[in-house]
Amino acid sequence: MDKQLFLAIFLIIGIFLAEGWFPFFKRPSKKKRLKHTGINMIFGIGNGIITKILFTVSTVWVVRWAADHGAGLLRVITFPLFMQGVIAFLLFDLWMYWWHRFNHEYKFLWNFHSMHHTDTEMDASTAFRFHPVEKIISALLMLLVFVSLGMDLISFSIYSFVVSPIILFHHSNIALSDPIDRFFRHFIVTPNMHRVHHSKKRPETDSNYSTVFSVWDRIFGTYKEVDDYRAIVFGLEKMRQPKWHTVKGMLWTPLYTAGILKEG
């Protein structure tokens, strides 16, 4: 088994168990929790297969082309190898901040990204809850980012290795004490910080876009805290009915958000 896949499965199982033992929000039943996780994981597995089929070869080709032609910021300016890796990591995380923010600020992108925010019971499985079209657009733009930055596959693999557990962590329903959460969110995105982002209140939803380092929200003025994190209500106000939380309903979310599909 691929080492990265084995690590991902290990993390998912570990966090799933931790959410059951130390939940921040109490869940109604184990059966509903398993159903919720199962539906989200269908999208995680499906999106993984789609992007692997469509973009594995193209990503390798683009990265090699950029290397052969000396394309990208990191190849124009000479850095020691270690510093090049650090800068690549930071710049790619900055791109992730802006890509996430664009998904909220541009209506076309929000139509697809909104599916991620319809989840009324956010937990680690929500990290896999993305519309396939959003994942395809993201992967296409990522090819341009690789060329622009001159990022190699090793740097991208390191970022992917680090980002996966952090994304699972900050979507999780694990209860951390407020002092611990507050300490860590000076550096990385924590569960409480990301819970604000999944609030049903749009001003709170449109904040805390960072993926790994929380500093981007502080720099660009989108960092937000709330007085009571346990008072946060997840999801989108108009899409709380059970039908929007089935596989079919989630796939149709962009049509409803865009006003093409009417309630009924």
What is the domain count for the chain?
Answer: 1
Residue 263 included in any domain = no
Number of neighbouring beta carbons within 10 Å of residue 45: 11
Residue 262 included in any domain = no
C-alpha distances in angstroms, 195 versus 128, 182, 199, 211, 252? 16, 13, 6, 13, 25
| Nearest CA-CA partner of 236 in 117, 105, 102 | 117
Continuous H helices in the chain: 3-21, 30-68, 73-76, 81-105, 107-117, 132-149, 153-171, 178-184, 191-197, 202-205, 215-219, 247-257
Q: What is the mean pLDDT of residues 88-109?
A: 97
The C-alpha angle with vertex 109 and arms to 153 and 199, in degrees rounded to 5, equals: 100
The pLDDT tens digits of the residues spanning 176-235 come to 999 999 999 999 999 999 999 999 999 999 999 999 999 999 999 999 999 999 999 999
The pLDDT tens digits of the residues spanning 12-43 come to 889 999 999 999 999 878 889 999 999 999 99
**What range defines the domain where residue 199 resides?**
3-257
70: region left, alpha or beta (phi > 0 left; psi from -120 to 50 alpha): left
Residue 264 included in any domain = no
Residue 165 included in any domain = yes
Q: What is the pTM of this model?
A: 0.94
The pLDDT tens digits of the residues spanning 80-89 come to 888 889 999 9
